[in-house]
Structure 1
């Protein structure tokens, strides 16, 4: 039943995401709407199957324990909401003179928000991978936490997650131009309208930001296992503070890129803070150097693209060569780090 519920949740979540983003032209809010609908349906089905369990005696101690564990998720969720949505507010509040200096007088604050939101859609590919991982990861680490091999298993999972994230990063970042140029059959429109392509430079930065969010989810295992969820509001509100401060500082200098960098900084700091508290509560030999190595490799290959093109290769051929080199390197690193470990 658990597997069926989780599978159904993922199917509804992903299906709604693709429908809202591709069919109805929603932005990042599609992720929240899809997650809400999928969660409500899952909760309804669970309620139907668990009605008999509510016929027992009231347990005040258990209620206190549940509240201590669950209540911190409310302010933590608030912090996450700030991280996801506040950037549009600051972009919309950009002074026209700043827009003129960074872009041109042809753009308004609404145009900048529209371009940013449209290009944000490509980062959703990484976010979907992260959310799919989260849905499978949380029940898995709770089941495995009592096993003697759990720390090693969690470490290997972290490395394999980085391999998957690096693959997604390389594919979306290198082939962003081809992806946005895809025409939707029957509907006859581009995946991202041509007038929004001016913001494609923010895509790799946002992909890295959500990659770090994946780290955050990986490292949350120790917090859940040790039941120290009181740390979560502290971490997410620190992240929200970084997002707000960085947007205020960077947007006047870099526009949309400043907002993307603020998101990256926030998720990176949150990931490292939760790593500190998580490994103190439940020691896991995470291979951070390998994780950072994969990030640097993937980002380096992407930013090497103009150099490869300068040798006379087409944009598509350069992307294919770099993607192939990246996949081969990631596969080798994963094999050495995970599969060759005795």
Structure 2
């Protein structure tokens, strides 16, 4: 249990500041929905669907490779080699994207806002150069420094966004020549959200100066080739994953045959629904940060497979609880999120539970994927992800013209469910882990059953929003207590929550 407690502790260390930063970013995006309508937020949705795709290209699997190779390679030599590689490639990629901004902006439906594309490249440049130092902090188990830089990044993004998007427009209306508006251009509008992100990313890179000071210009070509043989299938895995997650928003306008304003309106609603569903993705990303180095370190132990199974159980429990909270609290969450633009955005709220459950499947897949990383069968992982990507492409092209963003949401759900099941079956063949899959399925099905009960069995008879909220809170609490009682023997051993479970 000690190893699971350690992972829980590290997840909390990474989790509290990371959830805080994600939540601040989430709140900022919520304010965008309050300040701007679906048509105006569509271009921002497009930019932030592009960034994860390009981030895969810029980092090309070196973060995961770092955790794998640091187990049996001199850390300084590995750090220097990977850093020299990523610095060189980042400069080349950035210059190429900037040189071809105009045609690339047209290809990505940003032809009216090419400046958004340029600022996006700056974000990628600074974030990529921070990737290996961040990986080193995680390997060295220094979550405080990691958390400090991440919190500073999002805090600056939030402050600068409020400055450019709220303060400056008000000051400009009073006095266009105000000295505080030296760099402000009112025509740039919501694009300042991207500018704020780029400035914050640059400052975050500066805050990692101590890590960069350790860099020596040393490049071990033999080591680099070994790393790339391991890492380049992960590029395919990454691209496949991003296709599954982001392709729907990138191709949405291309597969619809509607007036441009209507396409942008639907894309804005789709993006807003994804933002609400991303609440569950926050936890998955936090868990992944702590779990990736943890899983590799545990691989040399005698009870590694048993540890992975127990970690999966706690992960599924947490995800099912979070999914139920989002699904039951949806009427209140969307009211808060959309504010005065509630009527404009709320028509897409029905897809949020679908997208949230798809995220749960993706999180389980991330846990399962340890088998091909430990057995060096990264190509197998690549084929699984490519298969999922093919399903995503075909279903989106087929269903978006027929069902709009609802069809795309179900395509995401089916894709991640298929990847999860295939990875489980193949993983049990090459790296057997005693997963209690019947229990995992039961927890998820009970959560879905409670949502169905509330949404179709209770809500139609209650008109008050607060009445619905109280019923939702009671169902959520009952489910949490039920799980705590079933898993009491194990939960009491975990940090923080153990003392509360012991009282049940």
Provide TM-score, normalisation by structure 1: 0.81
Q: How does 1:1-342 map to 2 (within 5 A)?
A: 7=14, 10=18, 14=22, 17-18=25-26, 21-22=29-30, 24=32, 27=45, 30=48, 40-44=129-133, 46=136, 48=212, 50-51=214-215, 55=218, 58=220, 60=222, 62-92=223-253, 93-96=255-258, 108-182=262-336, 190=339, 193-305=342-454, 306-310=456-460, 312=462, 314-335=467-488
Conserved? CA contact 2:45–2:268, under 8 Å: no
Note closer, same or farther for the CA distance 1:133–1:246 as it changes in structure 2 (3 Å cut). Answer: same
Q: Which moved more, 1:312-321 or 1:131-140?
A: 312-321
Contact 1:167–1:327 (Cα < 8 Å) also in 2: yes
Q: Which has the larger radius of gyration?
A: 2
- Per-residue deviation, 1:24: 4.9
Deviation at 1:110, TM superposition (A): 2.3
Please give the per-residue CA displacement for 1:228-261, whole angstroms capped at 9, x wherever unaligned: 1112221111111111112233334433221100
Q: Distance in 2 between matches of 1:166 and 1:138?
A: 21
Q: CA RMSD in A?
A: 3.3
Q: Is the 8 A contact 1:87 1:247 kept in 2?
A: yes
Taking a change above 3 Å as real, the CA distance of residues 194 and 10 of structure 1, as seen in their structure-2 partners, is: same
Take 1:323 and 1:165, find their aligned partners in 2: how far apart are those partners? 13
- Structure 2, unaligned stretches of length 5 or more? 1-9, 34-43, 56-123, 137-210, 494-504
- Of 222-231 and 161-170, deviating more is 222-231
Given that 2:14 and 2:289 are in contact with CA atoms closer than 8 Å, whether structure 1 keeps it comes out as: no
Offset of residue 91 of structure 1:
3.6
Q: Is the 8 A contact 2:334 2:349 kept in 1?
A: no
Q: Distance in 1 between matches of 2:49 and 2:341?
A: 17
Offset at 1:208?
A: 0.6
Count of aligned positions: 319
